Structures are given as structure tokens and as C-alpha cells.
Amino acid sequence: MATMQKESFKIVPPGKKKCVWMEAGVVSYKLCDNNFDCPTCTYDLAMQTKVAREREKSMERLLPAEQLASGAVGTWRERMLALPASQRKCRYTISGHVDNKVCPNNYECGSCSYDQMMQERLESVTFAPQATKEVGGVKVVDGFYYHEGHTWARPEHGGRVRVGLDDFARRLLGSLSRVSLPQVGEELSQGKDSFEIARNGGAVRGLSPVDGTVTHINFELLDNPELVHNENYEKGWLFIVEPSKLKGNLKKLMFGEDAESFMLREKDLLIEEAGHEMRLAADGAIVLDDIASELEDDQWTHIARKFLRS
């Protein structure tokens, strides 16, 4: 029984993928929670540091592939290179984006033309959320980081970050008449104004969740701003940033249970602000898909600015 229970913990749940460290056999069990963007992954950084420290401690030199394959300490890249060529999976095969692609560049992704091509392709599409949890009537998506100004940030391939508005903001702001986005190349600062949204003549500014340079904007929003209300986690994203302080920025954002608790607190504050205009389910959850439709223009502007912290 004990053996069966131990093995059961190694099952990869549907929709999840093995971390490259697990795929390479360095660790027995670890799932990827950073969209295979190893340069921005805290786990990858910790493991690389651990390997370096163990080597320094034992005064080991870089071991040949045969010794690494037999169990000596090594990074995931070294372990993968120790495999037969036919088994050296490209990281895009590991992530599930392509089928049966062998790494052509010794896992030096930064100088790989195929990796650069894939980055360009993936930057133009939206990754489907893996799991969504409803908290107080508001959707919180697994794998997204949340800013107090109700923007979300999602690290993606190549170290860049996609930004959008969360479900609380989507419901509060309602259908929009205009979205103004930053210029490509513009420098943004975490917690500072970075875009503007308008409804019925009223306008509010939104804050960037990260520091960095804008590399892409969602041009579709300029002609169809209602995408923010209809598909805020997918086609309604705002812009993509090349981050300059990502590790520090992520520490200041909310993730998982912290994000869920934040949404519950915001819901309670919104009820206090909007009063009888709010419609709630029996369990106190927000049921309105377009809260703005229940508010006067001046009231919408006041409440929107308060909750977007603008």
C-alpha cells in the first residue's frame, strides 16, 4: 500500500506538464508552473544555484556526459545532453507546443533560430488558462499574477510578460467604448499609469503590474474594445512587456491563495461603495457581469478610479 501511495504522487495531473528538471531525471517529481520560461523561473534559479554550490563544495570539475547520465550532479541541460540524440527533446516538445522536435542547438535557447521563431509565433497568440477558480463570483486564473490595480501579469516564453485586466475589473468596468494603449518601445513602471479605458465619456487610467519596455500591443482592442469585457484573459489582453525587474516585481504581485483573498476583500469593499446597486447571490457572490450598467456615469468613474488605484 505504501508503495502505491508513493507512486500516486508522481502522476502528472491532466493539463499539467513535467518540469524540465523532472523530464531530465534530475528530480523525481516537479511540475512546471512557469510556462517553461526557465530564465524567469525561481525554481530553475534555485536548482542552478544548488548544482553550482555542490560542485564548488566538492571541488568537482565539469563531468563528462557518461558520468552525468550515471547519476552525478548535473543541470537539466547536461542531463538532457547525456541522452541519445533521438531523446533530446526540444523544450517546445516538452511544453506540448510541438510534436517530436529534437533540440538542434545543445539547449542554448538564446542562440537558437528555431527558439526565436517560436517566440515570435507564441507572442502573437494567447495561452489558454489551465484552471480557473471562482472566488466571490470573480474568476481567478491559475498561473497569473495579480496587481492591486486589477491588472494581471503572465510570464511567457522568452522572459516577456503579457498584461491584461482581471475579472473583477472586467465586471466593474463593463463594456468599453475606447482603450488607449502605450506605444511599442515605451518604458513602463510597476504601479504607474500605462493605459486608459473609457466608457460613455468617462475615462480612467490603469496601472502596469511590472517594470519594462513595451514590445507588443493588442491592436485588436483599438477597433474592438469590448474584447476586454468579453475575453479579458484571452483575446482581450492589453500589451506585452520585456521586463527589467521581473523577479522583484513578481514578489510584489499576488498569486494563488493571496490573489483569491484579495478578490474577496475587494468584493466586500465594492459592496460598501456601490450599495444597493450591487446584485449578489445567496452566498454573497457577485452575479452582475456588467456592474457599470447599474451605475451613474459619475459614480462609475469614481469607483473605477478607486479600485484601479489610478
The pLDDT assigned to 122 comes to 63
- Give the whole-angstrom CA distance, residue 163 versus residue 32: 21
Q: Does any domain span residue 6?
A: no
The pLDDT assigned to 85 comes to 85
Asked if residue 217 lies in contact with residue 182, where contact means CB atoms within 8 angstroms, the answer is yes
Domain endpoint, select from 93, 121, 149: 121
Domain endpoint, select from 105, 121, 137: 121
Q: 218-228: per-residue pLDDT in tens?
A: 999 999 999 99
CATH number, domain with residue 242: 2.40.50.100
Mark whether 110 and 140 lie in a shared domain: no
Mark whether 304 and 206 lie in a shared domain: yes
The pLDDT assigned to 64 comes to 54
Average pLDDT, the chain: 83
What nine digits make up the cell of 107? Answer: 539547449
Asked if residue 183 lies in contact with residue 238, where contact means CB atoms within 8 angstroms, the answer is no
pTM of the predicted structure, to 2 decimals: 0.62
pLDDT < 70 stretches in the chain: 1-10, 15, 35, 39-40, 58-73, 119-120, 122-130, 157-158, 275-277, 282
The pLDDT assigned to 9 comes to 52
Domains held by the chain: number: 2
Q: 35-78: per-residue pLDDT in tens?
A: 677 766 778 888 988 888 887 776 555 555 445 444 456 788 88
What are the helix (H) ranges across the chain? Answer: 2-8, 20-23, 42-58, 65-69, 76-81, 91-94, 113-123, 167-173, 220-223, 227-230, 246-251, 257-274, 297-307
Asked if residue 172 lies in contact with residue 302, where contact means CB atoms within 8 angstroms, the answer is no
Q: Does any domain span residue 195?
A: yes
Mark whether 160 and 16 lie in a shared domain: no
